[in-house]
Structure 1
Amino acid sequence: MSHQGDPVVRTPAGAVRGVRDAAGELYRAIPYAQAPAGAGRFREPAPHPGWSGVRDGTRPGPTAPQPTRDFGRLDLTPFFGPGWVRGTDHLTVDVRTPAADGGERPVMVFVHGGGFVTGSTRAALYDGRAFARDGVVLVTVGYRLGIPGFLALDGAPDNRGLLDVLAALRWVRDTIPLFGGDPGAVTVFGQSAGATLVGALLADPRARGLFRRAIVQSGSGTGAFTPEQARRVTTAAATALSVDGTSDAFADIPDERFLEVLPALSGVDLRTDTATDPLVGLSPFGLVLPAQPADSLAAGPAAEVDLLIGTNTEEGNLYLVPQGAFERSTDADVLAVAAATHPDPHAAVEALRASRPAATAGELRSALLGEALFGAGSARLADAHARLADGRTHVYSFAHRSTALGGRLGAAHTVELPFVFDLADEPSLHGDTGLLGPDPAPAGLAEHVHGAWIGFARTGEPGWAPHPEVHRFGS
């Protein structure tokens, strides 16, 4: 196969070949760190040793080991991608650029979601054509997931998936000029688990100087596990694997076994005297921190960083509607969610009922889930950032209701992503089981949302007044 005419970029680690198309140039699966294998899965990311010759960056690479996730009647393939594509060299980035020509364009670095256990740069939703079209260099980051990425182990650094993102941002700082990007104009953005990682970067002193702006889409500034909660998950994992909770004991266990024991970790009770389960049972993995990012922003680069942050109006619907649990919800189910997320569950339910007297049990259950997972933690992060960086915090609310699943999915978790990436007309997102449903996307909404992200990356201004104003997208 001839590669004549394909663009080649010579990075410090070696040359990489990409492809040129109508949107610009695309370089896939460029390593930013050494492949994590064996004991290396539980170490800090190490510099990649480099390669000789020209590396093929025309095809996607392997992904972090991950289980298959099923969202009932909803087809979330565009969000999750192909799942586990085997190969150790998965600490890589994809770069989509108008041209690798030494230009100084804004750079946007995307950190995917997936509950800290799934997801990859290969997901169709993260196609960066629209960003390149609009003069932005888009970098999407793969990072370690599940047990290798986030299980707390003696002898291993915590939050290895976050360390991977930091390593990728250092790669961007050092290498992105070769791809036509400006390392002084980097916006890091993420969704769901990826957004929670971005929130943690704001409070992490190691992130100073690595980015100028941040976007937090449906994440949380209060979603981290306490060390005590993390120890409970470690104990459950070690017990399921019949080993000690040390990195040495885990080093020789194959990734397949780590995936096999995941169901045994989902039932761990994480409520303590001082904390509820911040992920409400949706994932046994997350950040492990002594203090929540929303309470420790002053330790990191937050004061020097512009922040765009928001949530969707019906986040919790994703965890109820596709599974048929929304319609089946009872008052007892509502109280159970309140008990898992509030110190006084009866008072919480009464207050919610008073504010939404016509709401069904499913709507109340969804509202409690969405507030616990994303709403409260995003509001705390926005308030804390606004105190540190007055006038540099912008808040949005995404309210467009997907017509999927008989019109019931609504403005659920993930529904904003096709609009951010300006892919809302893609056929794979439509039909009754597609993320956006059978109806066409509203005219102009993708242009509005995507344009706000681009404007923010360029200037720090998405197009509306700063906090406490909340800009509403959609009906």
Structure 2
Amino acid sequence: MSSTVTVQAPAGTVVGRRQQGVRRFLGIPYAEAPTGPRRFAAPVPRGPFAQPYDATLPGATAQRVPLSAVTTIPEPSVPGDDILNVSVTAPDAVGCPVLVWIHGGGFLAGSPASPWYDGRAFARDGVVTVAVGHRLGVDGFAVLDDVPTNLGLRDLLLALDWVRRNIAAFGGDPDRITVAGQSAGGAMVLGLLSSPAGRGRFQRAVSLSGGLFEVEAARVRDFLARLGERLGVPPTRAGLAACAPELLQRGVLDLRSDDDVLVLGPVVGDDILPVPPAEGLAVHGQDVPLLLGATGDEFDGHGDRRARAAGTRITDTLFRSACPRTAAARREASAGTWLYSFEWPSPALGGAVHCVDLPFFFDVLDAPGVPEALGPNPPAELAARMHADLVDFVGGGTPAWGRAVGRLGDPARTYGRPLAADTRGEYDPVTGGDAC
């Protein structure tokens, strides 16, 4: 049973739906569509709606082509030009803390419309959730003459501005915003936290399997030259703008190699990321509490304990090592850093691999695609505990375990082990491997 619900916001009148006590407003544009002369340009704020905006259907996604034929997370591609949009899920309450969610997808793909990012459990627990769409791949991270760099990050900054201006109308508190994301989304959380441009736009941060990723500008230019040659266009703004986003996305996925998957992403040296995130974290965002962690096996399914101990896995070098490095960079941060490790092994995927923690964080074990990824009986009590920890953090609480400073023996919440061991996990500051 559902009914329409209307909100009067600074952005204009927005019409959504109420279902089982949860209000949903889908695909609300926060910027003008990045088409025509606005393609490869800084995002332009969307003006107030002249007519009530119908927010009852999913918004368009930047993803036109998924990262692979089969992805762990259901990632629908929705056609349309208004890809710079937000979807709000809210309880019937006011003054609620706000979780702004940034999806993953290797900076090339992913969808904010995934059912794994459904904010209904957060709404049940008094949190407003905002899922954000931003530009991806070439459109989001090209390095071209006369084009601003890091357009995907600039989109997110503008989306955060929209949230601060409008979220009170949906029941959220604009002074209690947590920005959170997973994989590439988690990396962009750390990028925003390390950026001078992020200051004042959010009050808390959560990075799931984020890593400290940046791509050298020269490498991006070289890749775009090869992409242009493959597509028969010059690697310029005009040349690439002549190609449909779908063509560019297919070209990128076809051209990148298994040994060089991070071909596009945030670059360093502009006003958004003047220095690498690992350096910027020691300067900026010191007043923002941070919760971050990784899964035990990430891209190393059927994890070998000896390989984990040696710290030679992709999991350790790309993901888990970022946790103590980030904690060390923020050692003097007044707000504190807390670590977690997700260790529950999916029987369907052969370990605590990349993405399997998401249905637990969102407490959506009944979502489409979960049985295929987690097996028929994922532990509901684990989802309840993880989700409760996240709700508490977003609401302003201090995690029950100790702060991390990047040293051997740093405490970390371990999910998926007996309760007695739950607060005694340790991260090796060199490899990021679990020392327990």
* TM superposition score normalised by structure 2: 0.87
2:293 equivalent in structure 1 = 310
- Counterparts of residues 279-290 of structure 1 (less than 5 Å): 281-290=260-269
Alignment deviations for residues 416-454 of structure 1 (CA, whole Å, 9 cap, x no partner): 100000012446311xxx11123x122410111001111
Is 1:370 paired with 2:363? no
Alignment deviations for residues 275-300 of structure 1 (CA, whole Å, 9 cap, x no partner): xxxxx522322111143201122453
Q: Report deviation, 1:367.
A: 5.5
2:189 alignment partner AA: V
1:424 equivalent in structure 2 = 365
Q: Report deviation, 1:118.
A: 1.2
Q: Report deviation, 1:317.
A: 2.9
Is 1:36 paired with 2:30? no
1:295 alignment partner AA: E
Give the superposed CA RMSD: 2.3
Q: Is the 8 A contact 2:61 2:79 kept in 1?
A: yes
Unaligned runs of 5+ residues in structure 1 are 269-279, 327-352
Is 1:456 paired with 2:393? yes
The change in CA–CA distance for 1:366 and 1:381 in structure 2 (over 3 A counts) is: closer
1:379 alignment partner AA: P
The change in CA–CA distance for 1:366 and 1:115 in structure 2 (over 3 A counts) is: farther
Q: Is the 8 A contact 2:67 2:108 kept in 1?
A: no
User: What SS is found at the alignment partner of 1:316?
Assistant: coil
Alignment deviations for residues 339-379 of structure 1 (CA, whole Å, 9 cap, x no partner): xxxxxxxxxxxxxx9xx55x5xxx79995111222122232
Is 1:97 paired with 2:90? yes
Give, in whole Å, the separation in 2 of the partners of 1:379 and 1:66. Answer: 35
The change in CA–CA distance for 1:448 and 1:65 in structure 2 (over 3 A counts) is: closer
Q: Report deviation, 1:236.
A: 1.8
Q: Is the 8 A contact 1:309 1:382 kept in 2?
A: no
2:252 alignment partner AA: L
Q: Report deviation, 1:390.
A: 4.5
2:375 aligned residue (425, 432, 437) = 437
User: What SS is found at the alignment partner of 2:53?
Assistant: strand
User: What SS is found at the alignment partner of 2:181?
Assistant: strand
1:229 equivalent in structure 2 = 219
User: What SS is found at the alignment partner of 1:33?
Assistant: coil
1:258 equivalent in structure 2 = 248
Q: Report deviation, 1:116.
A: 1.0
User: What SS is found at the alignment partner of 1:234?
Assistant: helix
The change in CA–CA distance for 1:260 and 1:457 in structure 2 (over 3 A counts) is: closer
Greater CA drift, 166-175 or 30-39: 30-39
1:317 alignment partner AA: D
Identity %: 39
Give, in whole Å, the separation in 1 of the partners of 2:399 and 2:310. Answer: 32
- Counterparts of residues 403-418 of structure 1 (less than 5 Å): 403-405=347-349, 408=350, 410-418=351-359
Q: Is the 8 A contact 1:144 1:164 kept in 2?
A: yes
The change in CA–CA distance for 1:243 and 1:181 in structure 2 (over 3 A counts) is: same
1:82 equivalent in structure 2 = 76
Q: Is the 8 A contact 1:200 1:293 kept in 2?
A: yes
- Counterparts of residues 191-202 of structure 1 (less than 5 Å): 191-202=182-193
Give, in whole Å, the separation in 2 of the partners of 1:29 and 1:391. Answer: 33
Q: Is the 8 A contact 1:28 1:93 kept in 2?
A: yes
**Counting helix residues as a fraction of each chain, which structure ranks higher?**
1
Is 1:471 paired with 2:409? no
User: What SS is found at the alignment partner of 1:461?
Assistant: coil
Q: Report deviation, 1:117.
A: 1.3
Aligned length: 406
Q: Report deviation, 1:460.
A: 4.1
Is 1:447 paired with 2:392? no
Give, in whole Å, the separation in 2 of the partners of 1:20 and 1:39. Answer: 37
Q: Report deviation, 1:71.
A: 6.2
The change in CA–CA distance for 1:32 and 1:44 in structure 2 (over 3 A counts) is: same
* TM superposition score normalised by structure 1: 0.80
Q: Is the 8 A contact 1:317 1:366 kept in 2?
A: no
Greater CA drift, 446-455 or 60-69: 60-69
The change in CA–CA distance for 1:426 and 1:252 in structure 2 (over 3 A counts) is: closer
Q: Report deviation, 1:66.
A: 2.9
Alignment deviations for residues 169-221 of structure 1 (CA, whole Å, 9 cap, x no partner): 00011111111111111000000000000000011111111101000100112
Give, in whole Å, the separation in 1 of the partners of 2:335 and 2:89. Answer: 31
1:389 equivalent in structure 2 = 333
Is 1:121 paired with 2:112? yes
- Counterparts of residues 41-60 of structure 1 (less than 5 Å): 41-60=39-58
Q: Report deviation, 1:243.
A: 3.2
1:111 equivalent in structure 2 = 102
2:426 equivalent in structure 1 = none
Q: Is the 8 A contact 1:317 1:412 kept in 2?
A: yes
Give, in whole Å, the separation in 2 of the partners of 1:390 and 1:184. Answer: 18
